[in-house]
């Protein structure tokens, strides 16, 4: 059973461009979470999705950020019109069930905005 996959591992964008980060959860996992690690900071919750539904996006900036987890295919975190402050490592985690919430993390995507 392959682990959580994220791609790309590294992404470089210029200010104003769009960034798309993909996350394929572990097989059989229907819960997906996105976390962000800003430089010199810890992991911070952004958004929680189940298939086709956003359950909680309270940690995600209201502007420019969006997330989806379609019925088929990976979860996508999309950042429009990136700014330098978006430079961070973005981690995806998945879990098979909600109880106690054990989450399995992907290797992360490191976004650099020039």
Query: Which residues touch 29 (CB under 8 Å, ≥6 apart)?
Result: 94, 95, 96, 104
Q: Is 25 in the site for other proteins (CB under 8 A)?
A: no
Instruction: Tell which positions 55-74 bind other proteins, by CB under 8 A.
Output: 55-56, 59
3-state secondary structure of 32: strand
Alpha carbon separation from 94 to 58, 69, 114 (Å, rounded): 18, 12, 30
Q: Is 54 in the site for other proteins (CB under 8 A)?
A: no
Q: Is 90 in the site for other proteins (CB under 8 A)?
A: no
Binding site for other proteins (CB under 8 A): 3-4, 31, 33, 35, 41-45, 48, 55-56, 59, 91, 98, 100-108
């Amino acid at each position: 059973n392959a682990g959580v996959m994220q791609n790309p591992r590294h992404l470089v964008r210029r200010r104003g461009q769009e960034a798309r980060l993909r996350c394929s959860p572990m097989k059989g996992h229907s819960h997906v979470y996105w976390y962000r690690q800003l430089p010199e900071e810890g992991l911070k919750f952004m958004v929680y999705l189940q298939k086709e539904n956003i359950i909680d996006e309270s940690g995600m900036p209201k502007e420019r950020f969006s997330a989806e987890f379609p019925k088929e295919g990976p979860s996508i975190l999309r950042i429009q019109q990136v700014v330098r402050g978006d430079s961070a490592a973005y981690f995806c985690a998945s879990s098979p069930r909600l109880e106690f919430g054990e989450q399995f993390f992907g290797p992360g995507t490191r976004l650099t905005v020039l």
